[in-house]
Amino acid sequence: MPDRRTQCAKEVFFMRKKMLLASAAVLAAATILSSGTAMAADKKPVVIWDYFETDAQKQMMQTLIDGFNASQDEYEASHTYVPFADYEKQLVLGVASGELPDVVILDGCDMASFIEMDLFGDISDMDVNWDEYLEGPMSSTMMDGKHYGLPFATNCTALFYNKDLLDKAGVAYPDENTTWEQFHEMCKKLSDSGVTGFGNAAIGTDEGTFQCLQWLYTAGGSYTDIKGGEKAYELMQSMIEDGSWSKECVNWAQTDVCNNWKAGNLAMMQNGPWQIPGIESDAPDMNYGVTVLPKFDEQSGQATSILGGENMGAVKKDDMGGAKAFLEYYNQTDVMVEAMKQYGSFPPKTEAAKDTYWTDDPIQKEFITQLETSIPRGPSPIWPTYSKAIQAGFQEVMTGAKTPEQAAEDTQAAVDAIK
């Protein structure tokens, strides 16, 4: 999820390849630590790379692999841990050397650049009903109409609100019908009561883009059509100027936002489901709710949110049978549901997301609803370049360095110049 990797930005793929190959000699193979078991002599190996570090994540992967191995007699899967700091380097070096696993689990926003580098193979002929997946996560695994993997885990941001603070200020709880105008009035009333109405993460990294880009899309723009979303700039600047949106957001990562919200400094925040365990442990008595992000106006549909989460890519090889078999195993709804319960994220498959584990939980089910209109960052093989330009524009607006009109004009020019 994006808060684990606030530096998603990277150089264009072909520049990275040149630089990383130059440093190949100093990359120790010892950084790759296999956690798999010995292969059965009569089975073909299927190796999976991941960067999962927590005990829960490791147990989830082992459970998944054990289940796959027991489900058939042709393949024996194992997984290899690669530290996240070295992950992209090892993948780029593997493309050059040919020493690669069969399946790679990676951040969804990184997949397009590695498809462009020819790391992944076309698996469009797999026995998968592609329409069963949420559109946003699925699109992040595709390029030019071809499928190169499956969404693995997905998440997004939504609107958290402290019920006690809203009750104290006499503010109605936000819901799926709340518009930007109503949201602004709520936040002003909350700020007048002595607590800042709203905050999000607007730090100058891809983590900030992850949280801010949603507002641009909801206003009618996109990552290539900045001027179409200029109303988002106007909302942000006006709310910061009247104190209803925290001006400190330009320095906040998502954890900072949540800490301020748990401390009672913010009445509402934009954040993701990965914060829920910390809220339950640090503020077990907090009386709160979650709903979808506010929509543009009464005529608009549900607001957009931006996707986080991982994909599984099938590495391009002469024989991709093992990779396809593992992906087809994960494609089973019951397998996916059990894995995501352990992982602590949401299944990207529509039917799997309907499991009562999520739908019967009043907090979790709101994120499932928000996922229906969530979209990936990009997708673009040079997403980091776009992200840097886009987030610079948000920073200029939120600090008051430029008017919304000028910031939109300048950011559009910066985006248009990206090739």
pLDDT higher than threshold 60 for residue 112: yes
Q: 8 Cβ partners below 8 Å, 6+ apart?
A: 2, 107, 109, 110, 205, 206, 207, 210, 384, 387
Residues in the chain: 419
pLDDT higher than threshold 80 for residue 54: no
pLDDT band at 62 (very low <50, low <70, confident <90, very high): very high
Judge if 2-155+307-375 and 158-305+382-416 fold alike in CATH terms. Answer: yes
- At 364, list the tokens: 């979790």
pLDDT higher than threshold 70 for residue 7: no
Cβ atoms of residues 157 and 208 within 8 Å: no
For residue range 147-173, what is the model confidence (pLDDT) as tens digits?
999 999 999 999 999 999 999 999 999
In three-state secondary structure terms, 248 is helix
> Does residue 162 come out as left (phi exceeding 0), alpha (psi in the -120 to 50 range) or beta?
beta
CA atoms of 275 and 277, how far apart (whole Å): 6
Model pLDDT, residue 342: 86
Residue with tokens 């991941």: 50
For residue range 204-218, what is the model confidence (pLDDT) as tens digits?
988 999 999 999 999
In three-state secondary structure terms, 82 is coil
Residue with tokens 């801010």: 212
Model pLDDT, residue 299: 96
Model pLDDT, residue 40: 55
Q: Which of 16-30, 41-55, 102-116 has the lowest mean pLDDT?
A: 16-30
Helices (H), 3-130: 13-22, 55-71, 84-97, 111-116
Segments making up each domain of the chain, as ranges: 2-155+307-375, 158-305+382-416
Q: 303 Cβ partners below 8 Å, 6+ apart?
A: 214, 218, 292, 293, 294, 295, 296, 373
Burial status of residue 313 (CB atoms within 10 A of its CB: 0-12, 13-18, 19 or more): buried
Name the CATH superfamily housing domain 2-155+307-375: Periplasmic binding protein-like II (3.40.190.10)
Cβ atoms of residues 308 and 374 within 8 Å: no
pLDDT higher than threshold 90 for residue 29: no
Cβ atoms of residues 314 and 123 within 8 Å: yes
User: What secondary structure letter does DSSP report for 355?
Assistant: S
CA atoms of 389 and 11, how far apart (whole Å): 13
Model pLDDT, residue 403: 98
Q: Quick check: bond before 379 cis, omega within 30?
A: yes
Closest alpha carbon to 348 in 153, 158, 156, 157: 153
CA atoms of 3 and 396, how far apart (whole Å): 23
Model pLDDT, residue 155: 92
Cβ atoms of residues 198 and 239 within 8 Å: yes
- Share the mean pLDDT of the chain: 90
Model pLDDT, residue 290: 98
Model pLDDT, residue 19: 45
- pLDDT > 70: what percent of the chain? 90
Cβ atoms of residues 105 and 127 within 8 Å: no
Model pLDDT, residue 378: 84
pLDDT higher than threshold 70 for residue 383: yes
Model pLDDT, residue 381: 86
Find the radius of gyration of the CA atoms of the chain. 22
Assigned CATH topology for domain 158-305+382-416: D-Maltodextrin-Binding Protein; domain 2 (3.40.190)
Strands 266-271 and 196-199: parallel
If you average pLDDT over residues 223-228, what whole number do you get? 97
Residue with tokens 């709310």: 239
* Global pTM value: 0.80
Model pLDDT, residue 15: 47
- pLDDT > 90: what percent of the chain? 75
| Count of CA atoms in the C-beta half-sphere (13 A) of 21 | 10
Residue with tokens 């296999």: 34
pLDDT higher than threshold 90 for residue 122: yes
For residue range 320-345, what is the model confidence (pLDDT) as tens digits?
999 999 999 999 999 999 999 888 88
If you average pLDDT over residues 85-112, what whole number do you get? 92
pLDDT band at 28 (very low <50, low <70, confident <90, very high): very low
Q: Cα(first)–Cα(last) distance of the chain, in Å?
A: 28
If you average pLDDT over residues 58-68, what whole number do you get? 95
User: What secondary structure letter does DSSP report for 381?
Assistant: T
pLDDT band at 294 (very low <50, low <70, confident <90, very high): very high
